[in-house]
Homo-oligomer: A and B are copies of this chain.
Amino acid sequence: MRIALLAFDGFDELELFILCGLLNRLGTHGWKAEITSLASQITSMSGVTVHAARPLEFANEADAVVFGSNTYARAMAENSALVDRFQLDPLRQLIAAQGSGSLMLGRLGLLAEMPACVDVHTKPWLNEAGVRVVKEPFHARGSVATSSGGLAAPYLAAWLMMRGAGKEATQQALQEAAPEGQKEPYVQQIMRTVRVFMPPQD
């Protein structure tokens, strides 16, 4: 499972690295989540510079693609030169967004009739684009998912892991990272939230 974590200057390091850290706990299952960008180095909204491991086009061939929140998310979704470089396909990829990253999903026509989760700041812009916003931490339909951003990232990580590695591996990875003394209820609450969005056969 190769996952493209898309990040650009102005990215939200909190949600990017919750996802990165949780998904890479499945390394022994052959998972690899990598920062994917236009540039070889990018700087977060609070000034942290990180190296991208993959160029933008990796998103088009990865098994899963995630857009994150970004200070410039709105401008990016309006940038045709950027948008046109994506050739994503929900028939062969899991595609997701955190927070304002959902603006890009909307622009790519991937939200169609499905409602999306976003932060309050992004909500009016997404409404403007004709997308219905629900006040929930996480929502998925088929192979497309959105989380409201920030500390809702573990829900999105759990959904990706459930879809790609199954229930047992997901619980194990979450259990490992969950706070001591609270592991059982913490993991169960995440699993409950995500389970309703699984395809029937799972």
Contact = CB atoms under 8 A, between A and B. Distances in A.
Contacts of A118: 180
Contacts of A150: 21, 176-179
**Residue among A15, A18, A186 with the most chain B CB within 10 A?**
A18
A17 B17 CA distance: 6
* Dominant secondary structure of chain A at its interface with chain B: mixed
Nearest to A174: B151
**Copies of this protein in the complex:** 2
A198 interface: no
Contacts of A18: 14, 17-18, 151
Contact of A186 (B119, B147, B151): B151
Contacts of A21: 12-15, 17, 46, 150
Contacts of A177: 14, 150-151
Nearest to A148: B180
Contacts of A51: 41, 48-50
B14 A20 contact: yes
Query: What is the interface residue range for chain A against chain B?
Result: 35 or more
Interface in A1-58: 12-18, 20-22, 24, 27, 33, 35, 41, 46-51, 53
Most chain B beta carbons < 10 A, residue from A12, A13, A136, A180: A180
Contacts of A137: 179-182
Interface in A138-160: 138, 147-148, 150-152, 154-155
Contacts of A16: 17
Contact of A48 (B50, B117, B138, B179): B50
B35 A181 contact: no
4 closest residue pairs by CB, A with B: A14-B21, A137-B179, A17-B17, A148-B180
27 contacts: A12-B21, A13-B17, A14-B17, A14-B20, A14-B22, A14-B177, A15-B21, A17-B18, A18-B18, A18-B151, A20-B46, A21-B46, A24-B46, A24-B47, A48-B50, A48-B53, A49-B51, A50-B50, A50-B51, A118-B180, A119-B180, A120-B180, A135-B181, A137-B182, A151-B154, A151-B178, A152-B180
